[in-house]
């Protein structure tokens, strides 16, 4: 498994002088489940795009299991870090669901039963089994997001990065995404997600990183990140605590970031 490390990471886009990342220092250990949260423009997507080489540092460096990412090609990084875009239509290009999901693992050298197994497992995990012959653009937007997830999931990379995976998903779709995260983590893979869905974040991840203006302003487990003491920090980047956290605080139950923790606190009281 792979450790990810950013050291003094700065990124300035050519279109302006604003630093999208302003000296980020971060270590994500192998097998961690980490959520990145913050307002639009806080640097979340810019950060994760350095992990697979889509962006390169202006200053500082990114280490992928001890190797400077600048020494690795995008192809080499793609075998280590799989990134699912927020907009599936920027990722999908094939004429059928099967061809789309096969593309990544095939390019990583998988073939035969190994390839078929990777594709079948990814389609089952995302609820797309039986849609192999379907044109991706005959699927709705939410299912195309699941297809983009399946196409990266089939690559079986040690690191899985999801950009707003629950946007547009109904409750069942969110459950599928949660199942994918839990299964990947159970296999020892690192999962990183960008999300504005605080309930999803609190219920699914063990570490929450809050970003503002290209910097990390909070790095804590959900019980601390959504505790009342952190609300001012969250609101400084236009985020609200979970409903369970607010209710728990009003009732004097302590930190209850998830529905399950709120119910447990109510029972204990």
Q: Pairing state of beta strands 67-68 and 59-64?
A: antiparallel
- Whether residue 118 is contained in a domain is answered as no
Q: How confident is the model at residue 242 (pLDDT cuts 50, 70, 90)?
A: very high
pLDDT number for residue 16: 65
- Whether residue 202 is contained in a domain is answered as yes
How many CB atoms are located within 10 Å of the residue 159 CB? 27
- Whether residue 242 is contained in a domain is answered as yes
Q: How confident is the model at residue 150 (pLDDT cuts 50, 70, 90)?
A: very high
Name the one residue in this structure whose structure tokens are 């000296």. Answer: 23
Q: What is the domain-level CATH number for residue 18?
A: 3.40.50.300
30 contacts 17 by C-beta, under 8 angstroms = no
53 contacts 72 by C-beta, under 8 angstroms = yes
Evaluate if residue 31 carries a pLDDT over 70. yes
- Whether residue 8 is contained in a domain is answered as yes
Looking at the chain, the whole-number percentage of residues with pLDDT higher than 70 is 99
How far apart (Å, rounded) are the C-alpha atoms in residues 113 and 233?
Answer: 50
Q: Residue range 158-175: average pLDDT?
A: 94
SS3 call for 221: coil
- Whether residue 184 is contained in a domain is answered as yes
pLDDT digits (tens, 9 = 90+) for 259-269: 999 999 998 87
Give the global pTM. 0.93
- Whether residue 185 is contained in a domain is answered as yes
pLDDT digits (tens, 9 = 90+) for 57-100: 999 999 999 999 999 988 899 999 999 999 999 899 999 999 99
Tokens matching residue 209: 């990183």
- Whether residue 213 is contained in a domain is answered as yes
208 contacts 242 by C-beta, under 8 angstroms = no
- Whether residue 70 is contained in a domain is answered as yes
Tell me how many domains the chain contains.
1
How far apart (Å, rounded) are the C-alpha atoms in residues 188 and 198?
Answer: 24
Q: How confident is the model at residue 17 (pLDDT cuts 50, 70, 90)?
A: confident
pLDDT number for residue 142: 92
How far apart (Å, rounded) are the C-alpha atoms in residues 65 and 124?
Answer: 30
Evaluate if residue 15 carries a pLDDT over 90. no
Q: Containing H/E element for 22?
A: strand 19-28
Q: 204 is in which domain, residue-wise? A: 4-80+157-268
Q: Pairing state of beta strands 190-194 and 159-163?
A: parallel
Query: What is the radius of gyration, based on Cα positions, of the chain?
Result: 19
Q: Containing H/E element for 235?
A: helix 231-235
254 contacts 248 by C-beta, under 8 angstroms = yes
């Amino acid at each position: 498994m792979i450790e990810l490390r950013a050291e003094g990471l700065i990124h300035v886009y050519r279109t302006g002088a604003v630093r999208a990342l302003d000296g980020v220092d971060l270590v994500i250990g192998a097998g961690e489940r980490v959520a990145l949260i913050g307002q639009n423009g806080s640097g979340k997507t810019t950060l994760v795009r350095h992990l697979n080489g889509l962006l390169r540092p202006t200053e500082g460096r990114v280490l992928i299991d001890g190797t400077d990412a600048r020494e690795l090609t995008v192809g080499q990084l793609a075998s280590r870090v799989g990134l699912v875009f927020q907009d599936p239509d920027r990722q999908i290009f094939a004429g059928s669901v099967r061809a789309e999901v096969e593309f990544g693992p095939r390019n990583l050298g998988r073939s035969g039963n190994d390839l078929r197994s990777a594709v079948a497992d990814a389609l089952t995990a995302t609820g797309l089994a039986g849609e192999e012959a379907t044109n991706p653009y005959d699927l709705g937007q939410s299912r195309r997001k699941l297809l983009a997830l399946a196409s990266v999931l089939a690559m079986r990379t040690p690191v899985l990065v999801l950009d707003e995976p629950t946007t547009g998903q109904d409750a069942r779709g969110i459950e599928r995404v949660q199942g994918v995260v839990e299964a990947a983590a159970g296999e020892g893979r690192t999962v990183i997600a960008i999300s504005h869905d605080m309930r999803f974040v609190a219920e699914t991840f063990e570490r929450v990183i809050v970003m503002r203006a290209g910097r990390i302003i909070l790095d804590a487990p959900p019980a601390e990140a959504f505790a009342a003491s952190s609300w001012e920090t969250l609101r400084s980047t236009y985020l609200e605590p979970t409903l369970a956290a607010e209710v728990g605080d009003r009732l004097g139950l302590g930190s209850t970031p998830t529905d399950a923790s709120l119910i447990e606190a109510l029972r204990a009281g």
